[in-house]
Amino acid sequence: MDKTATAKEVLHTTVDMPFKDAVLAIQLEHELADFETINVSYLDEMIQGTLGEHVSKVALIIVCHPQIAYGALKIDPEIAGMLPCTTVVYESEDKVVHVHHVSATKAIRDLGLVSLESRDALDQLIRLTGEKMQVVWKNIETYAK
């Protein structure tokens, strides 16, 4: 069965705090839920520094949860390229700070990257990812605008 992500599967909210504070708060909420921060990358600064072009403030919070990584590797080491998880924080032109997350494990499913024999294991991994991200998201929404 072919299934694609829907708007309901994407996590999005706006937060009532300055951009840099939001990045740190969102990173911390991931870490409090046992995600390890791999990197925080400010795309706007990278683009300004290398291309001299101005874009709105955008940060990628790149995290990985050990149980999710382990589950993915058990299914197929080749899908590890879809990890880690990323949450984007960006500031719109009207200075509203947005937080947006799309599930990497659902993307693995939607792209058809696992065999039919591994679908049950992937479905279990998607559920685990959802449970872990719901903890993070519930806390992020306390900052919601």
Q: Tokens 């990812």 label which residue?
A: 129
Assigned CATH topology for domain 8-143: TATA-Binding Protein (3.30.310)
pLDDT in tens, 15-61: 999 999 999 999 999 999 999 999 999 999 999 999 999 999 999 99
* CA distance linking residue 18 with residue 55, whole number of Å: 17
Residue positions counted in the chain: 145
CA separation, residue 100 to residues 25, 59, 124 (Å): 14, 11, 23
pLDDT in tens, 109-132: 999 999 999 999 999 999 999 999
Contact 118, 75 (CB under 8 A): yes
Domain boundaries, given as residue ranges, for the chain: 8-143
Contact 84, 66 (CB under 8 A): no
